[in-house]
Amino acid sequence: MSSNILNKPQTQVQPKIWLSSPHMGGQELDFIHQAFESNWIAPLGPNVDGFEKDICSFTNSANAAVLTSGTAAIHLALVLAGVKEGDEVLCQSFTFSASANPITYCGATPVFIDSEKKTWNICPEALEVAIKDRLRKGRKPAAVIYVHLYGMPALVDEIQTICDNYGIPLIEDAAEALGSEYKGEKCGTFGFLSALSFNGNKIITTSGGGALLGRDAGLIAKARFLATQARDQAPHYQHSHIGYNYRMSNISAGIGRGQMLVLKDRVSQRRANFERYRSFFAGYEGIQVQTEPDESFFSNRWLSCILVDPNKNHGVTREIIRLALEEKNIEARPLWKPMHMQPVFSGCAYYGSGVSEQLFEQGLCLPSGSNLEEEDFTRIFEVLKNILN
Ligand SMILES: *Cc1c(COP(=O)(O)O)cnc(C)c1O
């Protein structure tokens, strides 16, 4: 038996190229060492305060609370918007499930809204149609959640104007957009409250974490209170609200402080990845890269995304490209499957005209890590050339 295994021809598997993997800057461990030396292992402490300050100075946000995840941040944003059992919340359909799941944690129901073609994010026209229709049915939406997917800023002004007109709190899911800008302002500073994520695949990571940002200091103070089990001021444990255990630890925040030192570089590196793909695909028909509509939009290029039209390139679909990359141990992933197409949300209302369905059908995310090496790009472009020529 064992000799059989030994005699098997050894196939040389090349190392995996990931879609987006953690990329440490080098100083993360210094902050963790400081925490160990002062025995500040338990929740809160100087790294938590420092990380929050760093986030505020980078984004120019007035207040930030760091949390265990971006999902927790969205959940607290909904709680603070007053979303409760039986409510409806309008949510961008073309997103990752973590934008929508917290709506159900509140006992509320998501109503999904299609995207527009310019930024691939929530469509202002569809949003307004939905609001009017829900109002007609006597169901005023309790909140709106929009997303800057793949780092591309949404049509921020148009969406904010609609929500202001109808008096609906707007929650910004900037989980994929730290470092992106709209009209020179950082994503994470628009709307009633904003969520960031430091999950392992995001532009910077704390191995897992998130943050809630907002203009209103009182709301962020309340978020910190709710995130630490909602303990009233008393010598004994006293509670008059339902709380959550959502606060980031001082160790994770140490990683975050180290990552903040290299965030600007990470944005440049990811934007450089995108430029490489853009110039490569310029030579091919039927492949469209995700484009910034005009100077108002600055994407962190968290992921480099393409749309593949088989009618314009001799029948090559995005799935053919994805499988060819997979065969060479290179990870690529279809653009996110819209929430209104997900089995778990099949009963939810949806307003749209097929934009997000088509993005899902034709779209592909390519390896986009800030730690990609020259030889990784050589391997990736080799596969793409073979398929497209
Ligand atoms: C990653 C992500 C989240 C959730 O963040 P976690 O930190 O993983 O909980 C939410 N929304 C979007 C669009 C994301 O990509």
DSSP 202-246: SSS-SSS-EEEEES-HHHHHHHHHHHBTT--SSSS---SS---B-
pLDDT digits (tens, 9 = 90+) for 80-93: 999 999 999 999 99
Verify that 224 and 190 share a domain, yes or no.
yes
179-190: per-residue pLDDT in tens? 999 999 999 999
Domain count, the chain: 2
Separation of 70 CA from ligand 1 center, angstroms? 5
pLDDT per residue as tens digits for the range 309-334:
999 988 999 999 999 999 999 999 99
Rounded Cα gap, residues 197 and 89, in angstroms: 21
Judge if the beta carbon of residue 376 lies within 6 A of ligand 1: no
50 within a domain of the structure (yes/no): yes
Confidence of residue 13 (pLDDT cuts 50, 70, 90): confident
Q: 88-112, pLDDT tens digit by residue?
A: 999 999 999 999 999 999 999 999 9
Pocket test for ligand 1, best of 199, 202, 252 (most atoms within 8 A of CB): 199
Q: CB of 197 closer than 6 A to ligand 1?
A: yes
Q: What's the whole-model pTM score? A: 0.96
Q: What pLDDT is stored for residue 5 in this prediction? A: 52
Place of tokens 């409510």: 87
Answer yes or no: do 141 and 285 share one domain.
no
Q: With respect to residue 123, please indicate whether it lies within any of the assigned structural domains.
A: yes
Range of the domain at 95: 28-262
Q: Are residues 42 and 53 in the same domain?
A: yes
Predicted confidence (pLDDT) at residue 1 exceeds the cutoff of 80: no
Strands 143-147 and 185-186, sheet pairing? unpaired
pLDDT at 256 over 60: yes
Residues 253 and 198 reside in one and the same domain: yes
Q: What is residue 41's predicted lDDT score, i.e. its pLDDT?
A: 82
Instruction: Answer whether residue 12 is part of any domain.
Output: no
What pLDDT score was predicted for residue 383?
Answer: 97
Does pLDDT of 361 surpass 70? Answer: yes
Q: Where a domain ends, among 235, 262, 289?
A: 262
14 part of a folded domain: no
Sign of CA dihedral 64, 69, 74, 79: negative
Task: State which ligand 1 atom lies nearest to the alpha carbon of 208.
Answer: 7
Does residue 129 sit in the same domain as residue 245? yes
User: Which of these three, 240, 262, 284, is where a domain ends?
Assistant: 262
- Same domain for 243 and 338? no
Q: Averaged over 243-250, what is the pLDDT? A: 96
Q: Is the pLDDT of residue 8 over 70?
A: no
Domain-located, residue 22: no
Which ligand 1 atom minimizes the distance to the CA of 71?
Answer: 9
User: Residue 44 and residue 249: Cα distance in Å, rounded?
Assistant: 6
The residue nearest atom 8 of ligand 1, judged by CA position, is 199
Q: Examine the domain organization and report whether 211 and 277 are in the same domain.
A: no
Q: How confident is the model at residue 39 (pLDDT cuts 50, 70, 90)?
A: confident
71 Cβ inside 6 Å of ligand 1: yes
Overall average pLDDT of the 259-286 stretch: 97
Residue 113 has pLDDT above 90, yes or no: yes
Q: Choose the final residue of a domain: 230, 262, 294.
A: 262
